Structure 1
């Protein structure tokens, strides 16, 4: 089967299409998915390519590893204990191992890590949801989201941010989105109650206090955002940057509320997201779509920091 793996090392590492073996055996709780689409997440490239290669468990799949976390596709085989899905079901989700290996024509995944694809979404749209939407949903929950509370979403126009704005509104929070000038109208249309243009000065000194500060860029820390946090304010980060990962547990030791989102992929949460989509209160935002052969360009687009929503990789032509 065709799959995306790596060539080269260090700064010369590139993602390329190769022919590799299809997943060999299914566990009793696994389904085999014919992948129609996948999507790119910062997690993918923040993990150094060759470090990820070294960390891949022996026997998971042939090295070099196949990349990709999110997937949407059709079940083509299933293990003996699978009761939630039938052959031919359209599904979406992600695994919780190092990666799902979704940038391939077929992927093996636990039945507990996928859900039925929302009927009103294409495979491309569904593939854009799992990691970003789960991060948004679980991050807001961890921050103690309740109706009437205020949340500041830093990075409101990105992959996680666009979904966090919509989910926060569904939770009946007062949402303030932080973004650049060019994205102000875009984030307002997503439902934000208030907007902050970070290009117009240091908003951390003037924006006031919030019940929840949700930094989906992972560049801030609870210390840099301390003036934004009310007396019982809760700082939430997606992690992924050294300063944030070190400062957040340190801040918590001081008795403050601060957490990093560690995403868990549960079918129940994926079902919750699918219900929001089908009710029309959550809409995936796709920045751009690339064919499988241009996966390296898709990752470059994601690294640019200019994305509105998610970058999707179309594995088959039936994905759109």
Structure 2
């Protein structure tokens, strides 16, 4: 299909999963078949979504956990149209709903239209990225769980997809790898240091293991998981795989330069960190150092070579891919 035919085939409305009130996704998430395709601003690109990924942060956003910093929910109001019939004044009322939110940050797709000031991307580019620059600070209302979505080129959120990865694999990467990488950078992890990853089989954990092993050059990487995931940890680069159902990592005879906590066990983690070492967490638990991810396409560009040569690879749950029509079921599985 040429770009001309692709462009002309863009409908004025699209299918999108939306919600207009906080609650469990099974209760509040609805499929809209006539959600307006966003009008492009001059620095935006329109993407035909080929795959999107779910993450716990979307689930929590929908529940209202981040309500103080979230974008506003819809406003329901009545538009009044007065008209005069004989000597009677009647009022015709029409309900208008604004700001239905389309959830989802991680996306992979094809650029089908570009704004007048877009320079780095062009129609036909296969791209991927986390389309919310600051995921907890007034995030976009136009998310990834739709047939089409938009992203700001100026914010440098989208980059070209690694050619060796499919759209599903690419969509699974941005938030998890960005969180893992930025957390390790903030701890000042350097070549030859040791790392313990708590929750190594999760989305962020699988990326942290690979990044510490193959990008940062850690001397030793240990990670925790359940019994069934130990071999996965080793295949990703963990030198020591710890079964948390049988063993306590606090009993290890060694301590670590960095502990990366993805599961909220920082109070335990501080017991195994070296003097001068750091514990970083993605959960709001003291006393670890916590950070909020700022999405950056520059990080993806930096890590693309490691994805293309296979040193870092996405880990897809074989039971965790769902068609677009089963998005609520996917949230339930998450």
TM bucket, shorter chain: 0.7 to 0.9
**In structure 1, what is the equivalent of residue 205 of structure 2?**
161
Please list every run of 5 or more consecutive structure 2 residues that lacks an aligned counterpart in the other structure: 1-13, 75-96
Describe how 1:37-48 pairs up with structure 2 within 5 A. Answer: 37-48=51-62
Describe how 1:243-258 pairs up with structure 2 within 5 A. Answer: 244=285, 247-248=286-287, 258=288
Distance 1:192 1:201, change over 3 A: closer
Contact residue 139 and residue 236 of structure 1 kept, 8 A: yes
Describe how 1:110-121 pairs up with structure 2 within 5 A. Answer: 110-111=152-153, 112-121=156-165
1:103 deviates by 0.2
**In structure 2, what is the equivalent of residue 214 of structure 1?**
260
Higher helix share: 1
Q: Report the Cα distance in structure 2 between the residues aligned to 1:182 and 1:207, rounded to whole angstroms.
A: 24
**In structure 2, what is the equivalent of residue 26 of structure 1?**
40
Higher Rg: 2
Which of residues 101, 107, 111 is equivalent to 2:149?
107
Distance 1:83 1:207, change over 3 A: farther
Describe how 1:145-294 pairs up with structure 2 within 5 A. Answer: 145-170=189-214, 171-173=216-218, 174-206=220-252, 208-217=254-263, 219-221=264-266, 223-239=267-283, 241=284, 244=285, 247-248=286-287, 258-287=288-317, 288-294=320-326
When normalised by structure 1's length, the TM-score is 0.83
Q: Report the Cα distance in structure 1 between the residues aligned to 2:276 and 2:64, rounded to whole angstroms.
A: 42
**In structure 1, what is the equivalent of residue 113 of structure 2?**
77
Does residue 88 (structure 1) correspond to residue 120 (structure 2)? The answer is no
CA-to-aligned-CA distance 1:104-152 (integer Å, 9 cap, x gap)? 0011111211100010110000000010010111111111111110000
Distance 1:51 1:259, change over 3 A: closer
Contact residue 242 and residue 249 of structure 2 kept, 8 A: yes
**In structure 1, what is the equivalent of residue 79 of structure 2?**
none
Distance 1:62 1:93, change over 3 A: farther
Give the alignment's Cα RMSD to 1 decimal: 2.2
Deviates more, 1:109-118 or 1:266-275: 266-275
**In structure 1, what is the equivalent of residue 31 of structure 2?**
17
Distance 1:269 1:225, change over 3 A: same
Distance 1:92 1:206, change over 3 A: same
Please list every run of 5 or more consecutive structure 1 residues that lacks an aligned counterpart in the other structure: 249-257, 303-320
Q: Report the Cα distance in structure 2 between the residues aligned to 1:81 and 1:110, rounded to whole angstroms.
A: 11
1:228 deviates by 1.0
1:268 deviates by 1.1
Q: Report the Cα distance in structure 1 between the residues aligned to 2:152 and 2:299, rounded to whole angstroms.
A: 15
Q: Report the Cα distance in structure 2 between the residues aligned to 1:62 and 1:122, rounded to whole angstroms.
A: 35
Higher relative CO (Cα under 8 Å, sequence separation at least 6) belongs to 1
When normalised by structure 2's length, the TM-score is 0.79
1:201 deviates by 3.7
**Where do 4+ consecutive residues of structure 1 move more than 6 Å?**
51-54
